[in-house]
Structure 1
Amino acid sequence: MQKRIMFFLALCILLVACSPSADPSPTSSPTETPTPLATPIAEPTEIPTPAFSSNPYTDGMIARRNGDYARALAAFQLTLNSNPPQDPSTSSGQSLQQEAQYRLGEAYWLNNDDTRAIANLVAYVQAHPNGAHIPEARYLLADAYRAKKDYANALEQLRIYRGLSQTLIGDTDATMADVLVLAGDTPGALAQYDRALQDTTLSNGARINVLLRIADVHQGRGEPGLAAPRYDAALALATDARTRADLLKRAGDAYAAANKSELAIARWLDALKYPEHNAAYQSLVNLINRGATVDDFQRGVIDFYAGAMDAALAAFQRELKTDSSRAGEIHYWIARTHAGKGAYSSAIGAYDTIIKSFPKDKRVADAYLGKAAAYAAIGKIDDAVAVYKKFVAALPDDALADDALWRAAILLDRAKRYGEAADLYEDVQSKYPARERAPEALFWAGFSHYIGKDYKTASARWQTLTKEYPKSSFNARALFWLGKTAQTRGLATDAKNYWTQAAVLNAGYYSWRASELLKPTKPNPIYDLARYAMNNDAERAELEKWLVAWSKGDSKVAATLDAATRNDLNFRRGAELLRLDRTVEARREFATLIAEKQDDPRALYALALYFRDNNLFSLSLECAEKLARLATTAGAPPAPRALMTLRYPAYYADLVVAEAQKNQVDPLIYFALIRQESSFNPWVTSSADARGLGQIMPATGKGIAQALGVKNYTLDQLYLPFVSVRFGMWYFAQDLKTFQEPIYALAAYNAGAGRIKNWQRADLDLAVEEIDISETALYVRIVYANWKQYQALYVR
């Protein structure tokens, strides 16, 4: 799995390492002569020896990509044992033997076996001093020595690497400083960090990171007065609110520890400008504890965002007594605070005060919406709807008036009062026909009538939508349901006509569903791996010809990166980080590069191929998607298959197809699922802590491991493709067996199987519309559309 690189050592480790009270384990002094390079050890007998093809090296590289490092180790060792010829035959220009020897050491490092990684990387360095992988071998050796607490050798290897590669000078200097901290040489570390800052190519983010590490070393040394200016220096580079608030709070704390109270208070007061972030609340606490004067209104807002509702309410009430000039705003926050405490009756009273006593205040619209929401929260739907209607009557031209009607309609819809809901949806469109919600309101008005079996009126609303809003994203949806309604009414010809119109729009889920109803297909899973191959020279040539036809440039399109792109700093940094197996950091550099090239179709094409060939599949997909959007904007002809396979790729096919066959699942639906879950990025982590290709939650992963009898399972294994695909496929297959319907299985994968019984209907299309979790409803539609697109591309 992805090794934890020294560049991102946790700050807590740095603090402990440099603290005067810390008692680190005895280590080699970094000023001593490094110990001799280790002698390679014999290959361990516990390495498995599975069956391989006639090209075990290629098998090993595939296993490496899949995160199956035990298999990779066996493959590379087998390659070495076979004494391959010395003729250069790899992309690096090395002999296959040299390549396998390096990859063996790298695989041990990836597998966190630092002792064997050192032995095998040393063997490579000694046998091939001019080998193509010498720089990265030195770097990996440094990390392995660091993990073994052999800091002298770690520093020596980093020094050698620094002399071999000039791209990451500042990063390497900072990494050397990290090792010096671990070794207990904080003066040397501080000097090395400052040396890192001399690298003018460091991004602001990297520079902030280094400054924070310097500050933390000073803090650990009991030098807060020296730490504070470093936080200030980082602050000058920071642009996002969260980082600025955190740096201001840290700087204030450091100045306070250095007995520079005025500076401390000034920094904490500045942190209050970012009330939504926890650092603002911590700064507020510090200010109050020091008796500093803080505006009560500002104090209340910060307490509110920190969840300290009682303190917030008290602050707002104090402010109300002393400053009547913004009474409306204060009452608004009092109302929000009551609602935050669950005291909805008090919230309603506070909102009412704004509406009645301050009718011209800027918060009146928010007060109406808040009051209605409070009524809804305590189950008083009619009162809530009445407030929304009063808002529209009082302020018909307000920017939120249509939203008020929309919210009222939603409440009635959820209460299954479909006729009343339809009336309000219709009001949204009739009163505000030019606003963004108008076509969506018409759709749901029609749907409410459909649920009430008033098919004629439902059809009328959807016909209005298609005529008045032909470019709306709801157009295909309306046409699809016009077809369903016609079918229900026994008008087969009309149904076919509407579905045909929906299908030709090529507008995602509803176009695909229309096609399915026009010509039902029976899933026929294909487990022939050859059918999922993506590289085809003829198709690539067709793509390049298509690109020439509408993009600016020469009459020939290059499939390789041009000199300008290769010389771009972000590309050079990304490529070097990738070479060092620092994939997550490399992605950040490449993401910046993609943003720079987002309007250049030829560059995007070359980047898509480069990222694909270097296993950065999500970046390749992103480039392909951007290229497709540029083509649409330019009015280009339909994209050829080669671009479509870059947009809907079959990466990890060896894993997906095998696990799909084992679980009797269509591989294509799981490709569609991965595309939505992770965009084929195995290292992605969601805000909810879902991980890997299949975005499996930690608790779910643990349960799957137990069900499958996986021994020695750890949470981080979810980042390994061969684990993620196995777990995710099995999990999806269980839902597919339970519900016997792919759409329900997809909904269960996203929201949990326990919710499906509430959504199941005799009419599958009706079930999709009535999924009451918007994220899940959207997820089902996207993955289903992906699946159908995959079928169109790969079932030939």
Structure 2
Amino acid sequence: MRKLGFVCFLVAFCFYSAAFTKENNLKKIHEYVVGREYSLAINELEKLERVDRKFFEANNYDYFLARLFEREGDFASAAAYYQSVINRNSILKSYAMLHLSKLSRFSQNLLLERVFLYEILLESPKSFPQKISKKRLERNFYETQDFNEVERILLSDFSQTDDNETYDRETLILSGLTLLQTGKTDEARKIFAKVLEKSPNPTRPDDLDLVAVQKLDEIDGINNKDEFKLSSQEHFQRGKVYYFNREFNKARLHFSIILEKFPQFTDIAECLYLIGRSYFLEDNYNEAIKWFERLMAEFPDTEFAKEALSQAASAYSRVNKPKEAISRYKRFIEKYSDDEKASRAYLNIVDILRDTSEESDAVSWIEKTINEFKGKSSEAIALFTKIRMKIARNDWTNALKEIEELEKIVKPNETIDDSGGTNLTEIRFLKGYCLEQLKEYDEAIEVYLSIPDGRNSYYGWRATERLSLLAENETSKSIISQKFNHYSEQAEQKLTTSNADQIRQSAQKALRLTNDAEKRKKLLEIIKESYRLLPSYRKILPEKALELKEILALVKPSHHKKLASALLSLNLYDEGTPELELALHKERLSSKNTGISYLNAETTINPKIAFTLAEYYVNADTPYRALIYLEPLWKNIPEDYPIEAISQQHLKLLYPAPYKDLLLANKEKSKIDPRFVLAIMKQESRFYPYAKSVSAARGLMQFIPSTANQVANELKLERSSTDDLYDPKIAILLGNAYLSKLFIVFPNQPQAVAAAYNAGEKNMMRWFLRAKSNDPDRYVPEILFAQSKDYVQKVMANYRIYKAIYNENLEPIGN
């Protein structure tokens, strides 16, 4: 009996030991993958296969191993394991076939690729791999020049599409290209015309609109001005598509044909304006002036003549002809005195006079502006200009007096979004800055402390930085110490419901007055304790993602749930998270087609689910979708919520570090801090690689074609088309090179570089020179464009957080 008991114990121990060993191995594999030590992970998986092949296959580790081999470039081994997944009819069979099709394409075996694509279409309807495969199959036939088969597939698609249903415009483009290849030019023209007709926003033509007009021009032989059969309206439409996409030469070609052949065209004034504006955007100001002057002469009473007058004045100022510029602005004031842009003409004259060091005349025009626009935003802008001029001259006393006047004009929470505008936060910061220069430290400290500091607060951060400098100043550090003692004593009172907000404010102020780790820790505990009694601060945010089994328990049974479970169990977030998201969606698939529906920012969703999806998408290196889920959770959190009170997990999801390998590889060449690149990228595209702006900037780093071409030429980089800006590798390469160039112009000045990246180097140089200082606290207020100033502040707020949570190699700094 004892022997039997011992044998049972031994068997049980062996099972436990085996399970414990497997669990340890799997944990080790996960750690290797997270640490990007893929070869070590592969070794562990191969060991697991040798020890227990049944367990290995039952849990789809053969698929996981195939993915790792593919990542490491061992395509033969990857293919063998993908085939193993297919042979045993795993639930991941369709994904394995999709990867085999990609490997076949990579090895230029398009016929084999086609075999796998057909299998996916037959065996996995209404799935992610099926949707991808259908698109790819069309391309496969096109690339192998089997145009008849492409045409057959596309015609089959169109026959199943209702006239009122939204067309897949990419499919239309491919159809048009196929018809061209088969010599069916008239049919192709109709297809490309339909692409334009179905444009989601004709005022913002997209890349497909651009391809359509390029192909229509090719069909119509438009490059030869003597051979055309187009109407004036067709030329106008195509010209505007080119113009929006910054293909200015082609835009001007269409507009010039209108001018030459259709002199009675109703929109001819706009054609003249767009030609002039296109030269202006190319920095060819002399040529722009010619077209603006012509427009004003030929169509003086049109709306475009008014715009041309303002643009001509600006162009003259940029070619160092201040008298001509001022005379045009004066003419604008005389002719359009009631126009909403008249005040800007006054202020532009002020800026020109400042740039030519005619400051007394500039002050005179400021006073004219204040008197003419009393009670309007232009009065505040003029007064703010006067303040900046006094700060540039180090006239702190008079600057302070003007600031106190401006405080009475600008309302709380009001932002003047016009060029040269400001808000109360910026005004208060400059007040504190002036007081600091006047050595009125006590009052300066209080002003700085009145500016809320949080993760999105640029001036709150700058105020905190100024307080840190004052704490090191021999003259002011005793006052900082007194203030700290005062507020920390207030913060240490007994916490009650009635005094919770006062204690919170005192603790947060004291926190900004010390760098002592122990004191800061104690103050943070007081702050968090006070939050529990304050409704606006105690909003509960999830601190960790749901376990996989927990989130799967919330999902109804479906094929997508099974796929999500299989993929996420392997930590394959890139494929598993979209399947999970789809499984969570009530309306998973359209009844009419195989379109995939995602949850979105407007969908009401449990915060824990939102946080989990955000974490999964960051793990999937798809941070733009993570932000869709996470940022709404922070929408109603007060702006002065201390960064130190935010969990590291939330910060790393709000400020992810994707494309680490690409960023670090470029860091070696450009010497640019990758955290600054991430700060730019977050603001430019929110990490969406296919982003396109209203100014036709493309990709992660939002390059316009002309700047991209210039940087690429300097790098001697051959580029096939503007589409390559959507490739993260190209975008990051060009972005780093351009930022490196800007840092040469503005060394150690990230604010100036950010402004130059957004508004152009020449504009930033003008603002920089007006400030007469390389102190960002003096030149950032000089940034004239409201959008550019906001951009700089957001980039720098991002950069601040990135530096707090990652080192220069993008490794987490820790809690």
Fold match by TM threshold 0.5: yes
Distance 2:638 2:54 in 1: 44
Q: Which residue in 2 is equivalent to 1:164? A: 124
CA distance, structure 1, for counterparts of residue 610 and residue 54 of structure 2: 31
Q: Displacement of 1:513 after TM fit? A: 0.9
In 1, are the aligned partners of 2:310 and 2:329 still within 8 Å (CA)?
Answer: yes
Count of aligned pairs between the two proteins? 659
Q: Give the one of 463, 479, 482 matched to 2:431.
A: 482
Verify: 1:786 aligned to 2:798, yes or no: yes
After TM superposition, give the deviation of residue 405 of structure 1 in Å: 1.6
CA distance in 2, matches of 1:393, 1:669: 46
Equivalent of 1:471, from 402, 408, 413? 413
Shift of 1:136: 0.8
Query: 2:188 is matched with which residue?
Result: 227
1:449 maps to 390
* Aligned AA (1:396): S
Measure the CA separation in 1 of the matches of 2:454 and 2:380: 17
Distance 1:341 1:658 in 2: 39
Q: 1:459 aligns with which of 381, 400, 404?
A: 400
Q: Matches of 2:784 and 2:68 in 1, distance apart?
A: 51
For residues 318 and 64 of structure 2, what CA distance do their matches in structure 1 show?
64
- Structure 1: distance between partners of 2:35 and 2:409: 55
Provide the C-alpha distance between the structure 1 equivalents of 2:38 and 2:703, rounded to a whole number of angstroms. 22
What are the residue-to-residue correspondences of 1:168-179 with 2, within 5 Å? 168=128, 169=130, 171-179=132-140
Instruction: State percent identity of aligned pairs.
Output: 15
SS at match of 1:222: coil
Return the offset for 1:137: 0.7
Deviations 1:34-59 (A, max 9, x none): xxxxxxxxxxxxxxxxxx99955325
Instruction: Give the TM-score normalised by structure 1.
Output: 0.63
1:367-406 maps to which residues of 2 (within 5 A)? 368-406=309-347
Q: Give the Cα–Cα distance (whole angstroms) in 1 for the partners of residues 657 and 214 of structure 2.
A: 45
The yes-or-no answer on 1:208 pairing with 2:169 is: yes
The offset of 1:139, in angstroms, is 1.1
Q: Which amino acid aligns with 2:127?
A: T
Note if 1:612 corresponds to 2:622.
no
Give 1:581-730 correspondences, 5 Å limit.
Answer: 593-594=599-600, 596-597=602-603, 605=611, 607-629=613-635, 641-642=646-647, 645=651, 648-651=654-657, 672=679, 675-676=682-683, 679-680=686-687, 719=728
Corresponding residue to 1:275 among 239, 243, 251? 239
Please list the CA deviations of residues 309-353 of structure 1 after superposition, one character each: whole Å capped at 9, or x if unmatched: 87676568x55xxx9x99988997898799878367866864664
User: Does the 8 Å contact 1:694/1:728 carry over to 2?
Assistant: no
Offset of 1:374 from its aligned partner? 4.9
Structure 1 residues 445 and 493, CA gap change in structure 2 (3 angstroms):
same
1:276-334 CA deviation, whole Å, 9 max, x = no partner?
234999xxxxxxxxxxxxxxxxxxxx999426887676568x55xxx9x9998899789
Does the 8 A contact of 1:413 with 1:421 survive in 2?
Answer: yes
CA contact (8 A) 2:63 2:85 kept: no
State the one-letter code of the partner of 2:646. Answer: R
- Choose from 286, 293, 310 the match for 1:342: 286
Deviation at 1:718, TM superposition (A): 8.7
Conserved 8 A contact 1:186-1:217: yes
- Provide Cα deviations, 1:562-619, integer angstroms capped at 9, x if missing partner: 76999999x99xx999539999xx9xx9997435538997875554344234331132
From 460, 465, 486, the equivalent of 1:511 is: 460
Structure 1 residue aligned with 2:154: 193
2:356 paired residue among 409, 415, 434? 415
Q: Which amino acid aligns with 1:306?
A: R
Q: 1:180 is aligned with what amino acid?
A: F
The alpha-carbon distance between structure 1 residues 102 and 683, as it changes in their structure 2 partners (threshold 3 A), is farther
Report deviation, 1:701.
9.6
Counterpart residue identity of residue 252, structure 2: A
Q: Is the 8 A contact 2:454 2:641 kept in 1?
A: no
1:134-183 C-alpha deviation (Å, 9 max, x unpaired): 21110111232234344443232122222124235565334323333444
Local SS of the residue matching 1:404: helix
Task: Write the letter of the residue equivalent to 2:428.
Answer: L
Task: Look up the SS of the partner of 2:240 in the other structure.
Answer: coil
Residue type of the partner of 2:286?
G
Question: Structure 1 residues 86 and 401 mapped into 2: Cα distance closer, same or farther (>3 Å)?
Answer: farther
The partner residue of 1:766 within 775, 778, 792 is 778
Does the CA contact (< 8 Å) of 1:304 and 1:337 recur in 2? Answer: no
- Tell me the CA shift for residue 517 of structure 1: 0.9
Tell me the amino acid that sits aligned with residue 641 of structure 1.
Answer: I
Three-state SS of the structure 2 residue aligned to 1:399 is coil
Counterpart in the other structure of 1:104: 68
The aligned amino acid for 1:625 is: E
* Pair 1:432 & 2:358 matched: no
The residue type equivalent to 1:220 in the other structure is Q
Q: TM-score, normalised by structure 2?
A: 0.62
Residues 62, 84 of structure 2: 8 Å contact kept: no
Alignment CA distance shift 1:171-1:675 (3 Å) = closer
Using the TM superposition, name which of 136-145 and 690-699 deviates more. Answer: 690-699
Change in 2 beyond 3 A, CA 1:349/1:625: same
**Which one of the candidate residues 429, 433, 441 is aligned to 1:492?**
441
C-alpha distance in 1 between matches for 2:666 and 2:184: 59
Counterpart Cα distance in 2 of 1:717 and 1:280: 18
Per the TM alignment, residue 626 of structure 1 is displaced from its structure 2 partner at its CA by 3.7
**Alpha-carbon separation, structure 2, partners of 1:598 and 1:245:** 37
- Show structure 1 runs of 5+ residues with no match: 1-51, 65-70, 258-263, 282-301, 523-538, 707-714
Deviation at 1:789, TM superposition (A): 4.1
Q: Indicate yes or no: 2:77 matched with 1:133.
A: no
Counterparts of 1:413 and 1:398 in 2: how far apart (Å)? 24
Q: Give the 3-state SS of the residue equivalent to 2:340 in structure 1.
A: coil
Q: CA deviation at 1:400?
A: 1.4
TM-superposed deviation, 1:404: 1.4
1:207: Cα distance to partner? 1.8
Q: Secondary structure at the match of 2:237?
A: coil
CA distance, structure 2, for counterparts of residue 747 and residue 366 of structure 1: 25
Contact 2:388 / 2:782 at 8 angstroms: preserved in 1? Answer: no
Maintained 8 Å contact 1:276/1:306: no
Matched-pair contact (CA < 8 Å) for 2:346–2:369: yes
Residue 328 of structure 1 contacts residue 361 of structure 1 at CA under 8 Å; is this kept in 2? Answer: yes
More displaced stretch, 742-751 vs 618-627: 742-751
| Aligned mates of 1:235, 1:331 — CA distance in 2 | 23
Deviations 1:258-279 (A, max 9, x none): xxxxxx9578854533532349
Tell me how far 1:80 sits from its aligned partner.
1.4
Question: CA distance change for structure 1 residues 206 and 402 in 2, over 3 Å: closer, same or farther?
Answer: same
Letter in 1 for 2:188: A
Residue equivalent to 2:252: 306
Secondary structure of the structure 2 residue equivalent to 1:272: helix
Q: Distance in 2 between matches of 1:702 and 1:335?
A: 26
Give the whole-Å Cα distance in 1 for the aligned partners of 2:736 and 2:623: 19
Alignment correspondent of 2:507: none
